Structure 1
């Protein structure tokens, strides 16, 4: 049985406001829940005109309050942008409000340009040490603060065994907690697209997500490093993995490619240093002339992404799950909007999930 989940960057297209884009994603998460997808994660990106997912915790709270079963999480929180205690507090409260439904995926990349990253971190000087250097320690701190380093049968936590960390500051001892009393813990995941994150996840005994939607190579090596050096932890006895895939599905391969074109162009421009703007509509994308460099980037991504009819894409999803031996596949539906679509809806993305789900009857089980 292949478990399927959803990754959402909250895309913002021409004429959409941030509120419109979030409303469209709310409709998408409700569709994912209705169809039986396991979890729905939102990414963290900043200062990008075509992406509204700047605050995963805020979006998760909104989506969790208007759904009932599907797990909600971050794919991921870029931890070097934040104080570990701040993230632990946010996700401890989310877990308190929605027990058993919250995932915390952590990543090391900035998810933004250098200036935005500098502002997010509150550094006083651009030459201050890179916070990413503290990533391993910060991950362990977050895990301890939210109780994610404990075995499942230790939840709920006893009153005398609440998760936290002990600190000694100026000869005084402090017990630091993310919230007064936890009764369950968010599930903690480590995200990455390199052997660095794979190795760290293995060392800490955490589940590992390979960010395959970035289109980078190295998945075989990263998964081999993770599985080969995995150290069991109280929370996880054996390696656990999943990967992400960009998908666009429609009744015909031609239409699937057409609705994928806005995101293909956005990513091509991002990779080639082109001007970034709100995501084009399908009609705008079809009418947009591309440079030779942009066209090459579009074609390269098109080869990596899963674009086509439902049976073709479903077959490729199953093949990827089998080839890499992952426990789950997370789909990023990348279909763009048409000029006539409601601004608060994303029909192509919803249709992708519906067509894929029809090929996986186990989702409804």
Structure 2
């Protein structure tokens, strides 16, 4: 039997009914502790803004918290949405994180806004959009250069000014490019960066994007070979029926997001089971669930192995989507913790 894939975690820090932001953070910190105990390789947080069910708004702040609370896992962003930020600011943030936690920091960079148009406007102070392909490529290149310990030379008014993200760096964070399109795959290949396709979100075009990346990869200072892994939504319980129940809050939330429905805190499992699914959305729900891993432990582990084989990766980043039941402690996410425990145990 082949070795099981390495398991990593993506955390959006969900906020459910009856939780405060502080509760959600404490629940995710507890989840990170479980993940590290289980030998999870890396733990990433996302960047989303102005969403009532997502507390993962500021990756550098969160990474500092999670890195301080753990000792062995790599901690990173999945990802920093670069159009929202000046490249130098991101370089400074992650240079400091790498200095504080050497060899443990990942900088995943994305091009999506991670927010609605109004919030995106506020993030940019009303300034111009910076996600167009030409500017994004330039900003990624500049950011990567700024992270180098030697810094870069900034040409201004006929003079060269030295620019360093931090005074005396002895290392750099690992930089990954994230995406859900052919554009991101081509850019990562051109720059020679590790690349992750957002399979957990998009679910289509994964094989094509990864093939494009691998075929066009140019070796760089980040490695001689293409590096990638798979992301997938996961809920695992003792039975498939229970896993489906636990996945329902996330399912309803994603359907609302995709169809323009109202968004709110993530409902409990009991609340979501009491909400009928409109007939016109049943096809969408079926399509989503077909791309997720929602099952009992043995079947879930087999599906993870299958996905790793199909997409030729040796690492799978799971997004634990199992919801909470009424009465669960506000500062813990028992079903998310149990998802990791059951899956990792079944993969051994």
TM class, shorter-length: over 0.9
- The one-character-per-residue Cα deviations of 1:277-325 (angstroms, maximum 9, x if unpaired) are 0000001001112322333322221111110011101001111111111
Matching residue within 306, 313, 317 for 1:326: 313
TM-score, L = length of structure 1? 0.92
Indicate yes or no: 2:42 matched with 1:42: no
- SS of equivalent to 1:106: strand
Indicate yes or no: 2:235 matched with 1:248: yes
Displacement of 1:224: 1.0
- The one-character-per-residue Cα deviations of 1:86-109 (angstroms, maximum 9, x if unpaired) are 100000000011001000000001
Extract unaligned runs of 5+ from structure 2. Answer: none
The count of residues paired between Structure 1 and Structure 2 equals 344
Match of 1:122? 125
Matching residue within 284, 306, 323 for 2:293: 306
**Superposition pairs of residues 171-186 of structure 1, within 5 angstroms:** 171-186=158-173
Displacement of 1:193: 1.3
**Superposition pairs of residues 45-194 of structure 1, within 5 angstroms:** 45-124=48-127, 128-133=128-133, 134-147=135-148, 162-194=149-181
Indicate yes or no: 2:179 matched with 1:196: no
Match of 2:327? 340
CA contact (8 A) 2:130 2:136 kept: no
TM-score, L = length of structure 2? 0.97
Paired with 2:60 and 2:96, the residues of 1 have a C-alpha distance of 10
**RMSD, aligned α-carbons:** 1.1
Paired with 1:34 and 1:129, the residues of 2 have a C-alpha distance of 42
CA contact (8 A) 1:77 1:107 kept: yes
Displacement of 1:129: 4.5
CA contact (8 A) 2:180 2:202 kept: no
Paired with 2:206 and 2:285, the residues of 1 have a C-alpha distance of 21
- SS of equivalent to 2:107: strand
Extract unaligned runs of 5+ from structure 1. Answer: 148-161
CA contact (8 A) 1:269 1:294 kept: no
**Superposition pairs of residues 228-267 of structure 1, within 5 angstroms:** 228-267=215-254
- SS of equivalent to 1:168: strand
Matching residue within 11, 32, 36 for 1:33: 36
Range with bigger deviation, 292-301 or 101-110: 292-301
Displacement of 1:177: 0.6
CA contact (8 A) 2:8 2:315 kept: yes
- SS of equivalent to 2:211: helix
